[in-house]
Amino acid sequence: MGFLDNYETVNQKVIRLHATFPTNRIETSIIDWQPDKGYILIECRIFRNYEDEKPAAIDYAHGMVGAYNPQMKRWYVEDTVSSAIGRCASVVLGTETKPSLESMQQVETMPKAFIEEDLWAKPFSEDGFATAQSSMDEIKSKLGGEILSEAPICAHGHMLLKEGTAKTGKPYRGHVCVEKVKANQCSPIWYVLGSDGQWKVQL
């Protein structure tokens, strides 16, 4: 048995879909398309019955023209739409393999230059995208916001934030254990206010 023997074509999945749900409805839409950058994102929704209000499954396919051989580049949009339909049909039909035979064949014939180029190693900023870190930095610089980390976890779960102003007029902040029995409580974590106006763990 070969590597691709367990995969169905999109057409085979659609035929099974029509046989299983004769009144099904398939809807596809473009979520994002950047022709100049050579990629497209397609959404597919499949309804078991034509009159159903909510889809039985939603799935996506991301197509990049650089992943196709020269003779297939002009049809990368159509192929991505077919891929989205195949993936979504797999969810509705409950197949063992989600990718279609066509997608797996494409993996085997993908241009070598595209495989060797690690796109995920490039920072998003090169393509005009904002990273989570840059977005947080912008909030802090422009809005004066403070990015708080998740509450620390002790043996009894997430600790509670305790803050306020002491009788001396000095602000305080710390995390305390949620355990009600004082003898069993974990040690609290207290913070000190730094010269930069940010709270830091008291050492």
pLDDT in tens, 115-136: 555 554 555 444 554 555 555 5
Residue 136 host element (H or E):
helix 132-143
**Given CA atoms 177, 182, 185, 189 in this order, what sign does their dihedral have?**
positive
Would you state the pLDDT for residue 125?
Answer: 47
Rounded Cα distance, 177 and 184, in Å: 9
Share of residues in the chain with pLDDT > 90 (%):
28
Tokens of 133: 């870190």
**Block residue for tokens 């102003």:** 165
d(CA 175, CA 166): 16
The closest of 78, 149, 66, 175 to 113, measured between CA atoms, is: 66
Tokens of 106: 């494409």
User: For 70-79, how does the pLDDT look when each residue is reduced to its tens digit (9 = 90+)?
Assistant: 778 888 899 8
Task: Give the whole-angstrom CA distance, residue 20 versus residue 93.
Answer: 8
**Residue 89 near residue 17, CB atoms below 8 Å:** yes
Which of 187, 188, 186, 191 is CA-nearest to residue 202?
191
Cα→Cα distances 31→28, 52, 157, 190, 195, Å: 9, 22, 40, 47, 47
Cβ neighbours of residue 98 under 8 Å, at least 6 residues apart? 87, 90, 91
- Give pLDDT, residue 126: 46
CA distance 91 to 98: 7
Q: Can you tell me the distance from the alpha carbon of 97 to that of 166, in angstroms, rounded to the nearest whole number?
A: 61
User: pLDDT tens digits for 150-188?
Assistant: 678 888 887 888 888 888 888 998 889 888 888 999 999
Taking the CB of residue 98, how many other CB atoms lie within 10 A of it?
Answer: 14
Stretch 21-39: mean pLDDT: 92
pLDDT for the residue 27: 95
